[in-house]
Structure 1
Amino acid sequence: MPAGPGWARPPSPGAEALPDWRERPVPSRARRIYTRGSILRRRFAVRFLKYVLPLGALALLSAIVLWPEFEREGENARLSFRRMSRAAPESVRVVDPRYQGVDEQGRPFNVTAFTASQQGSTNVVELEAPRGDLVLSGGGWMLVESRDGRFDRNANILDLRRDVTIWQDDGTLIETQEARVDVKGGNAEGDRPIAAQGTFGTITGDGFRLRDRGTVVVFTGNARAVLEGGQ
């Protein structure tokens, strides 16, 4: 039967109907279009990795080779630190220290210095430019000072060294190189040569003893006095 318009031959039995070639998907690979910026970024990334990867490998190899040396140096540093901490006790340094107290009768005394340093837990402090102020019997005062010193806070004993000077409000001045002062008891003594002057004149000797909170001064050794006074 001749084919006419709108007529199609039916498929033969057992045969699959083949789709029309115009309905099949066209096998194609769409090409990606690169811009100038993307090409430059890609080129930069390639160059960057070209240099970074060899450097990273070299750094990793160096770390693997040198790691035992780092561990050995760390152990030596820890050992030296422990030895130093055991050999050198802790020290405390204070600027412009002040120690205050009162005696049995409530009279105050003060010990000051330019600096004070204390080693460990001891109550003895080393002083630079120490100075002690004491109230004497009858309301008078005494001032002691030197270049260096040491203060025992438990015993209230002030040891003075180098250019020791003892002043009293009655005009008495005693100069020596070493002296021990009981700042709470108000007494002082020394066994180095001394020179004293005051309203009484001048006295030199091999040592001195200051008792009864400054009311009595005894000059020891070869003492020599030049007295001055009115009638």
Structure 2
Amino acid sequence: MSAALTFSDGQMIGQRRAKSLATARARSRFVAGLRLVLLAAGAVVALNALVQIVLSGGRSAPSPEVALSATAGESERIINPRFTGRDEGGTPYVITAETAERRSGAEQALIDLEGPTLDYALLDDGADASRVLARHGVFDESNLSLHLETDVRLTTRSGYVFDTQSATLFLREGVVTGPQPVHGLAPWGAVRADRFEVREDGQHIILQGDVRTRFNAPASSDTQQDPNSDAGAGRSEENEP
């Protein structure tokens, strides 16, 4: 009787072991199949991303980039900084200054500049990249803008020279705005206004608020114009160089 029970117990144990082995094998097959599915899904996602990059590569504008090279002094102030990058149209620009100091905290993207200069096709042909545009400036790395303060002088490639006390250059859009009174020299004479804008990569000069212009008299003219008189005035004027 004991022998019969022992044999029966052995059979049950053997059946349980066989069942456990079968379950383990089934689980292993399931895990292996799941791995294959995940690998296949990852391959599909990667292939799709590659296709999207290839298809959109020829249409997307180059991403603006900013690089900084400088010689650091004893403090956080940087001597002779140099910022290089490209706007959305791919036009390169170079910003230099006598000194630069990055702000801390929430304004970390803002860099205060002393004696900033700019080499950029929007302003001129780059032949005189060493001139000082203003006494002070603030470069915003996040928005790619350069704000100029105090004795600001901007020269466009179309021959305009503007003197004002404040101006902001938006490098991403290729736009310059001046919210304060401006005096300008043009190939044909002079202008003054309460504010101005330069748009479309320097192709359009927009003058606003008490606009006054003075035209140079031709050299062969018998009648000389008083250089201190105003030839015209208006509330708004747009000149196309």
Q: TM range, normalised to the smaller chain?
A: 0.5 to 0.7
1:113 is matched with which residue? 97
Shift of 1:140: 4.3
Is there any run of 5+ residues in structure 1 with no aligned partner, and where? 1-90
Counterparts of 1:107 and 1:229, CA distance in 2: 37
1:125 is matched with which residue? 111
> If you compute each CA radius of gyration, which structure gives the higher value, 1 or 2?
1
Moved more, 107-116 or 166-175: 166-175
Instruction: Tell me the alpha carbon deviations over residues 128-165 of structure 1, each in whole angstroms, 9 at most, x when there is no partner.
Output: 0111221139x945977100010101111111000000
**Do 2:101 and 2:112's aligned partners in 1 also have CA atoms closer than 8 Å?**
yes
2:142 is the counterpart of 1:157: no
Shift of 1:92: 2.1
2:203 is matched with which residue? 215
Computed over aligned residues only, the root mean square deviation of the Cα atoms, in angstroms, reads 2.4
1:25 is matched with which residue? none
**Do 2:122 and 2:156's aligned partners in 1 also have CA atoms closer than 8 Å?**
no
Counterparts of 1:219 and 1:229, CA distance in 2: 22
Shift of 1:228: 2.8
Q: TM-score, normalised by structure 2?
A: 0.53
**Do 2:146 and 2:171's aligned partners in 1 also have CA atoms closer than 8 Å?**
yes
AA matched with 1:198: A
Counting aligned pairs with the same residue, the percent is 29
2:85 is the counterpart of 1:101: yes
Q: TM-score, normalised by structure 1?
A: 0.55
AA matched with 1:227: F
SS in 2 for 1:145: coil
Instruction: Tell me the alpha carbon deviations over residues 5-27 of structure 1, each in whole angstroms, 9 at most, x when there is no partner.
Output: xxxxxxxxxxxxxxxxxxxxxxx
Counterparts of 1:125 and 1:147, CA distance in 2: 14
Is there any run of 5+ residues in structure 2 with no aligned partner, and where? 1-74, 221-241
Where has structure 1 moved over 4 Å in runs of 4 or more?
139-144
2:193 is matched with which residue? 205
1:194 to 176, 182, 195: 182
2:47 is matched with which residue? none
**Do 2:158 and 2:203's aligned partners in 1 also have CA atoms closer than 8 Å?**
no
